[in-house]
Structure 1
Amino acid sequence: MDLALLRTFVTVHRAGSFTRAAALLGLSQPAVTSQIRTLERQLGRPLFLRQARGVTPTTFGDELAHRAAPHLDALVEIAEGGLDDVSASRTLHLAGPPEFTAERVLPALTGLTGDDGRALALRVSFGTAEETLEGLACGRHDLAVSTARPRGDLLAATPLCDEEHVLVAAPHWAERIGPDSVRLKGAPALDDLPVVEVHESLPLVSRYWASVFDCRPATTGTVIAPDLRAVLSCVIAGAGLAVLPRYLCAPALERATIVTLFDPVVPPLRTYFLVVRTGALSLPAVARAHEWLQRAAVAWC
């Protein structure tokens, strides 16, 4: 049996689509389709059921993928291991949310270019969770940090750390609503305060309101800036309240340039995941970055 055909088959199985598999393999979609048909003729069994969106493996195809994939991944690991000098200095394409990647991920990965001489070149892309996972699935990235856990077999996710969200504003807003006002009145105590957010849909504020107050916010955004660092700057300047990750606003809280408006017993958390294409941890550069970030994340929690 041709190993190239098996590799194409496993890629299609993981991707769930001939189109996506073609992008990952650097082939045209007709070439992938032809290879799968050739393998099906050799085996005398259908491997996939064609659907409007992608493909679904047959029972036989599913069994073959689970038997073949570990061996193909092992062959990739052997091949990459034989190119150790090259793989150690290869470029790692990383993607994730701009603030967390800039403040946490990139500083942690600078250790990979330490005094062992094995420099790791980095190329970084920022985007939403959906954009990041799509780019990873299509082969544009090697490793992604995402707030969404991917579905399916193409991508594998490992929990990295939890991020605590806090409700903050400049001190004069806290003075305006009065001490204990939020504890006594709940969300209505905040209805007259302007809101600073990253999007018109108020994703962080809405999630906080649902988790802490069991309701939806009754206001719209006053300032919308698609970067949490810009949101923090606006809050410090007095533009209104915001929900921000504690790691990002901790220095401002320590300086008292902003204050928390409410401290719930159980604060809302958001989980970050390290995501790779299934089998990619056999690549030394990806595996090293993956392990390094997991070690660094111990101090972030």
Structure 2
Amino acid sequence: MELEFRHLRIVIAVADEGSITRAAAALKLSQPSLTSQLQRIERELGAPLFDRLRTGVAPTAFGRSVLAKARAVLHGMAALRGEALPAADRPIRLRLGGFPGSLLSVVVPRLVGLPGTTAVHTDPSTAALLAAVRGGRLDAAVVADVHGFEVPPLPGVHRAVVVPREPRFVALPARHPLAHRPVIALADLAGEHWIVDPHEDHGGTAPLRAACRAAGFDPVVAHEISDTSSTRDFVRTGQGVCLAQPTATEGPGLVVRPLVGDPVLRRIDLVWTQPCPISPARLHRAVADAYVELTGRNSGYARWWAEHGAVAGTPA
């Protein structure tokens, strides 16, 4: 069998969709037909392009190499013909993941000068981001691990610390009796209704429960909410409190305060696989610089950072 452009499009579609079923639908082919064609392509190339997983497919190391060449061929042919690539086919230089928040929005502008674009994917789960990097769905990701509740490393995924210590703050309604305090003791929040994100690792509760129990009480987890906007609305209207990123901005009806003794600490890491489309050292510097910029968004964190904050050196 001689490889043709349509075969390259098949390989790219399967990688982009992460599923043979979804790729078949996108290409308007039956699943058996696509599966058969993919098998013939793999036989022609002499090695599997994808690992078949319970949740879909992920490129093998060989598959990632073939994908890079396939995308280059298609993009080069489009340029030769003077064609504009469809939006979905425009070259993606870097697929970058991270936890929800402002950090990635500050990182991406620092990557100007890359050929192609940077595509961003967020997920509150470090385990999910690591799996996406390991499976080839992301090139790199910025992840957060709570001290004492670290997600185990995955083979083949490189990792470098960006911020060794980041305290978790607490978000309160502005009319809360403790909102006037510059720093709040966790023990003073016993009896509050807590809001957690169930998509975080450990269901969002394990580090919170451990810290609260060390402070002498069991937290009442009243709400499980996955999006930041809804969480802020629940806090603002007095329906609960939650742990918050220290870089989170305050707003009408809501304050974000440090906790005495920093009972919950995170570590911010950069993870990636090789080959990475951008130098990990350059990406690390971009993430570190962006993070430092964000430390001034909350006055309580600006003070904390001036006394305790630091970023780690770039990886070799």
TM-score (norm 2): 0.52
Letter in 2 for 1:246: P
Deviations 1:169-193 (A, max 9, x none): 21443269x98xx85xx64x53432
Residue 235 of structure 1: how far off its partner (Å): 0.9
Aligned residue number for residue 195 of structure 1: 194
**Structure 2 portions without partners, runs of 5+:** 1-37, 49-68, 70-75, 77-90, 146-150, 295-308, 310-316
Please say if residues 136 and 276 of structure 1, whose CA atoms lie closer than 8 Å, have aligned partners that are also in contact: yes
Letter in 1 for 2:159: A
Which among 152, 157, 160 is matched to residue 158 of structure 1?
A: 160
Aligned residue number for residue 107 of structure 1: 106
- Superposed, 1:139-288 pairs within 5 Å as 139-148=136-145, 150-161=152-163, 162-174=165-177, 187=187, 189-199=188-198, 206-211=206-211, 213-214=213-214, 218-248=218-248, 250-252=249-251, 257-258=254-255, 260=257, 263-277=259-273, 279-281=274-276, 283-284=277-278, 288=282
Please say if residues 146 and 272 of structure 1, whose CA atoms lie closer than 8 Å, have aligned partners that are also in contact: yes
Equivalents in 1 of 2:111, 2:236: separation in Å?
35
Deviations 1:134-192 (A, max 9, x none): 1111111111122246525411101122432112321443269x98xx85xx64x5343
Please say if residues 192 and 220 of structure 2, whose CA atoms lie closer than 8 Å, have aligned partners that are also in contact: no
Aligned residues: 213
Q: Which has the higher contact order (CA 8 A, sep 6+)?
A: 1
Please say if residues 173 and 240 of structure 1, whose CA atoms lie closer than 8 Å, have aligned partners that are also in contact: no
Which among 101, 120, 127 is matched to residue 124 of structure 1?
A: 120
The alpha-carbon distance between structure 1 residues 157 and 229, as it changes in their structure 2 partners (threshold 3 A), is farther
- Secondary structure of the residue that 1:264 maps to in structure 2? coil
Please say if residues 112 and 120 of structure 1, whose CA atoms lie closer than 8 Å, have aligned partners that are also in contact: no
Residue 206 of structure 1: how far off its partner (Å): 4.5
Please say if residues 194 and 240 of structure 1, whose CA atoms lie closer than 8 Å, have aligned partners that are also in contact: yes
Question: If you compute each CA radius of gyration, which structure gives the higher value, 1 or 2?
Answer: 1
Letter in 2 for 1:167: V
Letter in 2 for 1:280: P
- Secondary structure of the residue that 1:222 maps to in structure 2? strand
Aligned residue number for residue 130 of structure 2: 133
Equivalents in 2 of 1:151, 1:190: separation in Å?
34
Equivalents in 2 of 1:271, 1:251: separation in Å?
23
Please say if residues 159 and 269 of structure 2, whose CA atoms lie closer than 8 Å, have aligned partners that are also in contact: yes
Aligned residue number for residue 86 of structure 2: none
Equivalents in 2 of 1:234, 1:93: separation in Å?
33
TM-score (norm 1): 0.55
Residue 275 of structure 1: how far off its partner (Å): 0.4
Aligned residue number for residue 54 of structure 2: none
- Quick one: percent identity of the two aligned structures? 15
Aligned residue number for residue 10 of structure 2: none
The alpha-carbon distance between structure 1 residues 217 and 198, as it changes in their structure 2 partners (threshold 3 A), is farther
Equivalents in 2 of 1:191, 1:291: separation in Å?
40
**Structure 1 portions without partners, runs of 5+:** 1-25, 37-78, 80-85
Greater per-residue helix proportion: 1
Residue 126 of structure 1: how far off its partner (Å): 2.3
- Would you say 1:295 and 2:298 are equivalent positions? no
Residue 207 of structure 1: how far off its partner (Å): 1.7
Equivalents in 1 of 2:116, 2:285: separation in Å?
14
